[in-house]
């Protein structure tokens, strides 16, 4: 399975569906498996600086660029820490590499009444150091995912259903 398909699928899964002016998460993935080292070397944990709590996932796309869901940034970007090079988010601060967010670029059409397209780019202050445990995700080359194609989704996931009104 190509990781190109993975990034598109992750973005689609995080996209909320507008329903009468409110957001509602329509579906979710529950019951996944624990990842092994090196399986998802592009995964990044977005964390609240003040309490080191994980609040969203993201993917490395270039040495200074990360892609995530725009809805993750109801949290203020200046209070966001980024940790990469981890599989388990529980001990991320001790194991992973912390990097600072320099710029957040939200999709211009994302907003309170229009939750799609739910995508944002993060530019990091310093370059991410690539290794066997840290690599960028492969982005699509122009082909679109067709219905019925199996895919793998990575992330730490959310098991609650949430609604913002």
Residue 136: pLDDT over 70: yes
Please report whether residue 45 resides in a domain.
Answer: yes
Contact 67, 121 (CB under 8 A): yes
Nearest-Å Rg of the Cα atoms of the chain is 15
Tokens 């940790």: give the residue: 83
CATH number at residue 93: 2.40.10.10
**Coil, strand or helix: which one is 1?**
coil
**50 domain-assigned:** yes
Domain assignment present for residue 146? The answer is no
- pLDDT tens, position by position, 82-114: 999 888 776 666 678 999 999 999 888 887 566
- Would 57 be classed as within a structural domain? yes
Note down the domain range covering 53: 3-26+36-139
**Mean pLDDT of all residues in 118-140:** 92
What's the whole-number mean pLDDT along residues 150-157? 77
Residue 128 lies in a domain: yes
Q: Can you give the pLDDT at residue 5?
A: 41
- Give the per-residue pLDDT at 67: 95
pLDDT above 70 (res 13): no
Mean pLDDT of the chain: 75
Is residue 152 one of the residues assigned to a domain? no
pLDDT digits (tens, 9 = 90+) for 35-56: 777 888 999 999 888 888 888 8
Number of domains composing the chain? 1
The Cα-based distances of 22 to 19, 77, 114, 130, 160 in angstroms read 5, 23, 9, 40, 17
pLDDT surpasses 60 at 79: yes
Domain membership flag for residue 91: yes
Q: pLDDT value at position 88?
A: 74
pLDDT of residue 21: 40
Q: State residue 36's pLDDT score.
A: 76
Record the pTM. 0.72
Give the whole-angstrom CA distance, residue 161 versus residue 1.
28
Neighbours of 143 (CB within 10 A): 10
Helix (H) or strand (E) holding 3: helix 3-14
42/58 Cα distance (integer angstroms) = 8
CA distances from 132 to 38, 83, 98, 121, 144 (A): 7, 16, 17, 24, 28
Assigned domain for 83 exists: yes
């Amino acid at each position: 399975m190509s990781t190109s398909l993975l990034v598109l699928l992750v973005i689609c899964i995080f996209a909320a569906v507008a329903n009468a002016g409110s957001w509602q998460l329509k579906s979710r993935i529950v019951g996944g498996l624990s990842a092994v080292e090196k399986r998802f070397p592009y995964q990044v944990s977005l964390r609240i600086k003040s309490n080191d709590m994980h609040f969203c996932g993201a993917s490395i796309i270039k040495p200074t660029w990360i892609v995530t869901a725009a809805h993750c940034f109801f949290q203020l970007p200046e209070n966001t820490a980024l940790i990469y090079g981890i599989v388990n988010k529980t001990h991320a601060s001790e194991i992973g590499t912390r990097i600072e967010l320099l710029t957040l670029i939200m999709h211009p059409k994302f907003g309170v009444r229009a939750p799609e397209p739910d995508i944002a780019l993060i530019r990091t202050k310093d370059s991410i150091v690539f290794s066997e445990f840290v690599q960028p995700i492969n982005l699509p080359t122009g082909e679109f995912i067709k219905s019925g194609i199996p895919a793998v989704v990575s992330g730490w996931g959310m098991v609650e259903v949430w609604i913002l009104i």
